Amino acid sequence: MLVRNQRGGGDPDVDILARMELVVTAASSLLGFLLYYNTLDAGFVYDDRGNGRGHRANRSGKHRTDSAPMSECPTRRAILSNPDVIGHTPINALFENDFWGTPLTDPGSHGSYRPLCVATYRLNYAFSGFKPWSYHFLNVIFHCTATALVVVTARRLLPAYCMRVGTAVTGIAFAAHPIHTEAVAGVVGRADLAACNLFLLSFLLYSEHIRLREQRHKKQCRHIVKDNVVRRQITSNDPPFRLSCHSLVQHIMMNVRKLLKASKAGPMKMLDACEVNGTVRLKCQFSGGVSEDSGELLQWLTLAGTLTFAAAATLCKEPAIMVLPLCIFYDFLKGTRYEEPYYK
């Protein structure tokens, strides 16, 4: 991501490129909205309806349940006949039933566990009842935000020499690709849209976690070559981070202690605080403009955000759990790319 130059009020070229990035992101999202704007006039389709035995909505809009066992009701649907959407079940039932409103313990359950997606349908129903336009509108919005996140992801991954053209092509291709038609135009496709958004957010947060981790490691590890002797100088009194259970627990406890001490300075100054010789001082800055403790705190927050969004994405659609192996593989690739010593 391009940031403003801290010297002289900012580099004009950097500002222009930042505006271009914003224009590409907004244009791609706008294209996605215009392409699917006509779906706002569409109604519910087969998977949204319920016209068989079991849970049904009558003409008055009231929900009723037939006496037939649920396992004998093969025509349950996600919207119009879903008791979790209509609100005839408590909130905790969303985490006990499948995508179609059937208890997971029922022999006829589909087994699709997507409670967060069903929760968005429930919000739609609370807002507009069974008016299809609100359901389709939220789908289109999710498609637009997913397009914007794809552009940001492309900007993170593409090399500099093809970033401008590459991000534009990526955004346009994703917004206009016909493979997304079913997910956007069909209300039940929201599971894919919501999972896609949260999947990308999880990956972007992990890529930011890697960047902060490498930045902090470079600040901590100074290699001074003098008289053909490499001497390692640690810029902090804290022990370096190592991936082991014992040091991980110690690291978490140390950060919690620092966070509690820094919070006494006030919520607005908490991120500017760091600990020096057992006392909390404000604006303890490195030459890069960010305090060590602030960078460390952000590093842990991005990792926690990665896991949180990964869990939320999985609760929208099950395959989204694959974001975690993807992050591990991406970290491995970054490690093989930067395995050269920092002092080289």
User: How do residues 144-154 score in pLDDT, each as one tens digit?
Assistant: 999 999 999 99
Is 316:114 a contact under the CB 8 Å cutoff?
A: yes
**Domain carrying residue 56:** 46-129
Of 33-37, 69-73, 221-225, 335-339, which has the strongest mean pLDDT? 33-37
Residues 323 and 224 in one domain: yes
Across the range 299-322, mean pLDDT stands at 95
Residues 214 and 317 in one domain: yes
Confidence of residue 215 (pLDDT cuts 50, 70, 90): confident
In-domain check, residue 28? no
In-domain check, residue 152? no
pTM, full prediction = 0.71
Residues 213 and 314 in one domain: yes
Q: How many CA atoms lie within 13 A of 325 on its CB side?
A: 4
Number of independent structural domains in the chain: 2
Q: Which of 129, 147, 173 delimits the end of a domain?
A: 129
Helix and strand numbers (H, E) in the chain are 10, 6
Confidence of residue 277 (pLDDT cuts 50, 70, 90): very low
Tokens of 189: 């496709």
Residues 227 and 332 in one domain: yes
Q: Which of 79, 108, 129 delimits the end of a domain?
A: 129
E-only strand ranges, 256-313: 273-276, 279-282
In-domain check, residue 343? no
The percentage of the chain sitting over the pLDDT mark of 90, rounded to a whole number, equals: 42
In-domain check, residue 344? no
In-domain check, residue 85? yes
In-domain check, residue 296? yes
More confident site: 2 or 47: 47
**Phi, psi (rounded to 5 degrees) for 278:** 85, 0
**pLDDT recorded at residue 282:** 45
Burial of 166 (0-12, 13-18, 19+ CB in 10 A): middle
3-state DSSP: the chain helix, strand, coil percent, rounded to 5? 60, 10, 30
In-domain check, residue 290? yes
Q: Which of 129, 147, 181 delimits the end of a domain?
A: 129
3-state secondary structure of 224: strand
Residues 329 and 214 in one domain: yes
Non-local CB neighbours of 66 within 8 Å, separated by 6+ positions? 53, 54, 56, 73
In-domain check, residue 33? no
For residues 58-93, one letter each, b for 16 or more C-beta atoms within 10 angstroms of the residue's C-beta and e for the rest, the string is: eeeeebeeeeeebeebeebbbbbbbbbbbeebeeee
Cα separation, 167 vs 22, in Å, equals: 11
Place of tokens 């935000």: 145
Q: Would the pLDDT of 255 be above 70?
A: no
Confidence of residue 293 (pLDDT cuts 50, 70, 90): low
Residues 230 and 330 in one domain: yes
Residues 219 and 323 in one domain: yes
